[in-house]
Amino acid sequence: MKAVIITVGNEILKGRTVNTNTAYIGSFLTHAGYDVIRNLVVKDDPDEIGWAFETALSVSDLVVSSGGLGPTFDDMTVSSFAKHFNIDLALNEEALSVLRQKYSMQKLPVTPERQKMAMLPVGSIAVKNNVGSAPGVFMELNEKKILILPGVPAEMKDILSNASSLIGKSDFFYYDDTIHLEGVMESSLAPFVSELMKKYSGKVYIKSHPLGMENNNPKLDVEVSSTGSSRKEVENDVKSAIEAIREHWKERIGK
Amino acid sequence: MKAVIITVGNEILKGRTVNTNTAYIGSFLTHAGYDVIRNLVVKDDPDEIGWAFETALSVSDLVVSSGGLGPTFDDMTVSSFAKHFNIDLALNEEALSVLRQKYSMQKLPVTPERQKMAMLPVGSIAVKNNVGSAPGVFMELNEKKILILPGVPAEMKDILSNASSLIGKSDFFYYDDTIHLEGVMESSLAPFVSELMKKYSGKVYIKSHPLGMENNNPKLDVEVSSTGSSRKEVENDVKSAIEAIREHWKERIGK
């Protein structure tokens, strides 16, 4: 099952904020068996947000977005999504009662800006936010799943965890492991890696990450990963490929 | 002038690596006066890479990519880009001579895997890489600019800097500043921010970034930015808007 992750926010595009949310959600979904195929980052702009959801839904089974869920004028992810797919917004009584409770604890009124966070697409579910005020939004559309999260990392993580059962697990298991090698260049290892992947008929994926070169001593992380329907097979394949790389490296360095 | 930043790499999509390259490039381009409108992250896959460049070029004047420029089987950004736009690859003598020099210093041969890094699209320019082996690739296509960078951050930063004059500066100046506020919630500030932006007729953009709530004391960074043809006007607008926010905050907290 395929997933696309969307981030909404000018601060990401300008490089003011590093997009750690996407990495967190990517790891979460990968370990739930999803194949994360694209990340799309767009501006706080209704047309751009509409484009991102349209594009993401056209190639995936699950779309998770973060950003643009707060009380300010440029928090427009939910309304832009709903407008793009012609879905009405309605006051979600559950979300409103949570907002009322949170703001009353601080002796603050639920202003129109705050109430906006309880206007959800008709047919969606408000997903609990234990950290902040705006709930997450989950809905199904044309047999695809959509989860809309806020951009504040602590809130995003909390709601994502609360949405686990809604997102569901894929029938596939994912496993990876990394071996750290010194004294071998990525380009020297490349032919062996290609051969090894052929040997596993595409069941393992091997990617080398060069870590730089110090005193002419190149360092490399080699990551081996696999996805499949048998957890045991997936783990065994990764472990035996890691061993094959270790043996090859020993032979080379021994020379 | 609009820009789109592409990242190629499964490790980003799986959340193994946080996409710091995009933030660096986004900040670099924003301060050169470009309006960075989208980030696209795609897999190490020829079709996906082709889609990313096609999509990016359809909405922007400049496309900068990072990742997929090394010697391994899954480094395929240049070849996938060239194939998608029907551009032939040819051995770039300048890039090859740099590769030969770098590898000969380590008494290593230029294998086919290594020579691949000197196969560049016909009509492109090899951009100097003082840190690693693979040069950057710059070319113009239908009056749009394309810069293809490697994924290793130190190499990416070096080449991006070397490509400054090729990318060019926009005729616009960008300026931003941030004011840190305590004791005021994003939702409390929202109506004032909307009013203030109206007052500046859209010439300044104000975005609040909630930093969480400690002991019922909310913290907020409020970022004010502006882009325009007069550097002085842009800076003055941002500074006076920051002052207006500071005054408003003092009044509120004083109450």
| Res B190 pLDDT > 60 | yes
Q: Where are the alpha helices (DSSP H) in chain B?
A: 10-13, 20-31, 46-59, 77-84, 93-105, 112-115, 153-162, 164-167, 186-199, 231-254
Predicted confidence (pLDDT) per residue in A167-220, tens digit: 987 788 999 999 999 988 888 898 899 999 999 988 999 998 888 766 677 889
| Res B161 pLDDT > 50 | yes
Is A23 within 8 Å of chain B by CB? Answer: yes
Contacts 24+ apart (CB under 8 A), B99-105: B99/B133, B102/B133, B103/B133
Q: What is the mean pLDDT of residues B36-65?
A: 98
Contact (CB<8Å) A40/B38 = yes
Tell me if B135 sits within 8 A of B159, measured CB to CB.
Answer: yes
Whole-angstrom distance, CA of residue B19 vs CA of residue A38:
13
Phi, psi of B115 (to 5 degrees): -65, -30
Residue B255: the pLDDT is 45
Q: Which band of pLDDT confidence, cut at 50, 70 and 90, is reported for residue B1?
A: very high
Q: Which band of pLDDT confidence, cut at 50, 70 and 90, is reported for residue B82?
A: very high
ipTM for the predicted complex: 0.90
Contact (CB<8Å) B14/A25 = no
User: Which structure tokens are listed for B88?
Assistant: 């032939």
Predicted confidence (pLDDT) per residue in A50-108, tens digit: 999 999 999 999 999 999 998 888 899 999 999 999 999 999 998 999 889 888 887 88
Residue B215: the pLDDT is 60
Predicted confidence (pLDDT) per residue in A138-157, tens digit: 999 999 999 999 999 999 99
| Res A254 pLDDT > 60 | no
| First-last CA distance in chain A | 45
Q: Identify all chain A residues contacting B212, using CB atoms and an 8 Å cutoff.
A: 152, 154
Residue B3: the pLDDT is 97
Contact (CB<8Å) B26/A12 = yes
Residue A255: the pLDDT is 46
Whole-angstrom distance, CA of residue B216 vs CA of residue B208:
18
Residue B107: the pLDDT is 82
Give the residue on A whose Cα is nearest the Cα of B214: A131
Whole-angstrom distance, CA of residue A144 vs CA of residue A137:
14
Q: What is the mean pLDDT of residues B172-188?
A: 90
- Tokens 């899954």: give the residue: B74
| Res A160 pLDDT > 90 | yes
Contact (CB<8Å) A27/B14 = yes
Give the residue on A whose Cα is nearest the Cα of B109: A188
Q: What is the mean pLDDT of residues B35-47?
A: 97
Strands B35-42 and B2-8: parallel
Whole-angstrom distance, CA of residue B89 vs CA of residue A204:
30
User: Which of A152, A187, A204 to mutate to probe the B interface, most B CBs <10 Å?
Assistant: A187
Q: How far is A13 from chain B (nearest CA, A)?
A: 6
**Domains of chain A, start order:** 2-167 (3.40.980.10), 173-254 (3.30.70)
Q: Which band of pLDDT confidence, cut at 50, 70 and 90, is reported for residue B127?
A: very high
| Res B6 pLDDT > 60 | yes
Among partner residues A24, A70, A190, which is closest to B210 by beta-carbon distance? Answer: A70
Closest to B22 in 3D by CA, of A40, A108, A202, A140 = A40
Q: What is the mean pLDDT of residues B226-250?
A: 93
Write down the pTM of the prediction. Answer: 0.91
